[in-house]
Amino acid sequence: MKVRKCLEKGIKAFFTEPDIMILGPNHLVCIEAKFTSGNPIVLKGKPDKEGEKPNSRDGLIERYILGNKLWHRPAITPEELGEKIHSQILRMIVFTSTMAQQPELEGRDWIVANLVSKTQWDKAKTKLHKDNDFTDPTPSIPASVRNNFRFISWEDNIYEKVLKNDSALVELSSYMKNKTANLQEAFKLSDSV
């Protein structure tokens, strides 16, 4: 809450927040979960609006990087940002790294994960999307925080590595197998063992 009050003062709706947050004794993990939507990207010429999160490169830098008064040491500098900026992921990295520097969480390793559906994203890649990206954003993550970022999928990292062979999670596994998107199978999953 403290980080949001500082970084998003004056924003009236759609605050930055992780879809999933895991706080352990040594880690802080914030997850941006996607299903059929892609990662928003900064577009040239898209104006910022009063009371909303900035959409422009300059607006994002000014508010979240240069305007971050809670950082003891900046996790990202404006010079590190490449041409392609995933606005939501950048905000999540700034928020998570800032939270990890606060006294109550200091000393915890932090990670931002982008959890996506490979199945849905493979379908979306065949269509034109002006302001959303359906590719792995890792190459556009600044090098200073790239080790704090993970691009993972529901199919490989949740189903295959966690659910598939755990009999205690059979109901959740069944849910993923039967999940639909637009009245079609949502996930292409291998058969459970």
Separation CA 193–CA 164 (nearest Å): 7
Give the model confidence (pLDDT) of 30-53 as tens digits: 999 998 889 999 987 778 888 889
Give the model confidence (pLDDT) of 164-176 as tens digits: 889 999 999 999 9
Q: Is the pLDDT of residue 81 over 70?
A: yes
96-121 exposure pattern, b = at least 16 Cβ within 10 A, e = fewer = bbbbbbeeeeeebebbbbbbbbebbb
Whether the Cβ atoms of residue 110 and residue 147 lie closer than 8 Å to each other: no
Q: pLDDT band for position 191 (50/70/90)?
A: low
Residues of the chain with pLDDT > 70, as a percent, come to 97
Separation CA 155–CA 123 (nearest Å): 14
* Three-state DSSP class for residue 96: helix
Residues 175-182 have a mean pLDDT of 89
Higher pLDDT, 1 or 182: 182
Q: pLDDT band for position 192 (50/70/90)?
A: very low
Q: pLDDT band for position 70 (50/70/90)?
A: very high
Residues 117-141 have a mean pLDDT of 85
> What residue spans define the domains of the chain?
2-153
Residues 76-84 have a mean pLDDT of 93
pTM over 0.85: yes
Separation CA 44–CA 157 (nearest Å): 34
Query: Count of CB atoms within 10 A of residue 48's CB?
Result: 14
Separation CA 113–CA 94 (nearest Å): 13
**pLDDT computed for residue 97 by the predictor:** 96
Q: Is the pLDDT of residue 21 over 90?
A: yes
Cα angle 105, 94, 41 (rounded to 5 degrees) comes to 150
Give the model confidence (pLDDT) of 103-125 as tens digits: 998 889 999 999 999 998 888 87
**pLDDT computed for residue 128 by the predictor:** 64
